[in-house]
Structure 1
Amino acid sequence: MSELLTVAMPKGRIFEEAVELLRKAGYDLPSEFDDSRKLIVDVPSAGMRFILAKPMDVPTYVEHGVADVGVAGKDTMIEEERDVYEVLDLQISECYLAVAGLPGYKETGIAPKVASKYPNLATQYFKEQGEQVEVIKLNGSIELAPLVGLADRIVDIVSTGRTLKENGLVELETIVPITSRLIVNPVSYRTKDTLIDEMVERLAKVVEGE
């Protein structure tokens, strides 16, 4: 049996777009693969084994060599700062990180509170702005924080802006554009260089529209 390339993939929207990209690159992924509830899926026809994980965990699996390559959002890469190679911008799941709050927001107190799934990223951003804030880490429904008085502002991913609008929040500042990246374990890049280089080349052609 030929060697399998282990790929860590995030569940959700990025997964769907990444699978479509792999198919366009000529990888034979069966249709039932999309609906599988398994966490580990072997696809011998594509020469791959997939590990399905939470988006924030993908760089960890790749860093520790459990996966050879992975697909991770740039937001996760900045937040996690894992020891992996970022080899290709896949240009999927486009969105951006932004600061948001209630309309008419005015800064109060010495260190205003900011809620985010990205505490490291938020801390760094406000530090660069010369602003002292207290960052509160939340794992979901970040928009709730200003509504109940937990935080003055939030730092979160914005795709269409609809969630902010529906919760009565407005965007205050744009931080950085986000897309998903192909990341590689440094050891795997040496031991499985042929497989990984081929994958990068095939995906790059699709991304660049060749």
Structure 2
Amino acid sequence: MTEPLILAVPKGRILEEALPLLAAVGIVPEAAFSDKNSRALRFATNNPAIDLIRVRAFDVATFVAHGAAHLGIVGSDVLAEFDYSELYAPVDLGIGHCRISVAEPVALAEQDDPRGWSHVRVATKYPHITRAHFEARGVQAECVKLNGAMELAPVLGLAPRIVDLVSSGRTLQENGLVEVEVIAQVTSRLIVNRAAFKTRASEVVPLVDGFRKAAA
């Protein structure tokens, strides 16, 4: 008997938006998946040929790239940051809309002109995207890698600016920061491990088609 296909989904906001898409494709997770107290990370679904794993957004790409999961749902920000050659991203799911932006304290922004920057120190969990963005403009970027609580960096003197995901902008506002530049718009994609796309095409291709229809 063939092992089930494993679909990696991210924890948090994207997952809530992804569940209706999963249902539209005919994938309904077992009850434990919705149990807030459950510590399980792998779940059966109504389809015995498909299991779900729930991991951090950044880890979805890693699990799929290395073949530990066959498919995944992940933001285009993560794909741009890691740029794994083993990943194929055939469908823009049209969910998880947000943007990657440069932000700084309001007081700094009032006297600042991004066009005049030659060197920036930035706290971010996107060092690759950040450096590439600034290098394209001839600006040298010194990146301080953080995995969360980015908004604290300017307040506590770690770095005067941050590069982070922004959706409503409320978190920035509540921490006295303002967007000064948008680097990229972000949506979530269906990703597939390239080897699995070839070796398990009879199972993977109909799933990809199903997601494409559901997203449309």
After TM superposition, the score normalised by the length of structure 1 is: 0.92
- What's the offset of the Cα at 1:45? 2.6
Task: Give the one of 28, 53, 56 matched to 2:55.
Answer: 53
Letter of the 1:95 counterpart: C
Structure 2 residue aligned with 1:27? 27
- What's the offset of the Cα at 1:46? 5.5
Structure 1 residue aligned with 2:92? 89
Is contact 2:102–2:162 with CA below 8 Å preserved after alignment? Answer: yes
After TM superposition, the score normalised by the length of structure 2 is: 0.89
Task: Give the one of 125, 149, 154 matched to 1:117.
Answer: 125
RMSD across aligned positions (CA) = 1.9
1:180-204 CA distances to partner (integer Å, 9 max, x unpaired)? 1111111100111121111111111
Task: Give the one of 74, 77, 86 matched to 2:76.
Answer: 74
Unaligned ranges ≥5, structure 1: none
Q: Does 1:206 align with 2:209?
A: no
Q: Write out aligned runs for 1:109-148 (5 A).
A: 111-148=119-156
Structure 1 residue aligned with 2:104? 101
Letter of the 1:86 counterpart: A
Q: Does 1:42 align with 2:44?
A: yes
Structure 2 residue aligned with 1:163? 171
Letter of the 1:52 counterpart: R
Query: In structure 1, what is the Cα distance between the partners aligned to 2:25 and 2:193?
Result: 21
Is contact 1:27–1:46 with CA below 8 Å preserved after alignment? Answer: no
Is contact 1:28–1:46 with CA below 8 Å preserved after alignment? Answer: no
Structure 2 residue aligned with 1:173? 181
- What's the offset of the Cα at 1:3? 4.9
Query: In structure 2, what is the Cα distance between the partners aligned to 1:155 and 1:85?
Result: 26
Q: Does 1:191 align with 2:193?
A: no
Is contact 2:100–2:184 with CA below 8 Å preserved after alignment? Answer: yes
Query: In structure 2, what is the Cα distance between the partners aligned to 1:144 and 1:18?
Result: 30
Query: In structure 2, what is the Cα distance between the partners aligned to 1:183 and 1:9?
Result: 10
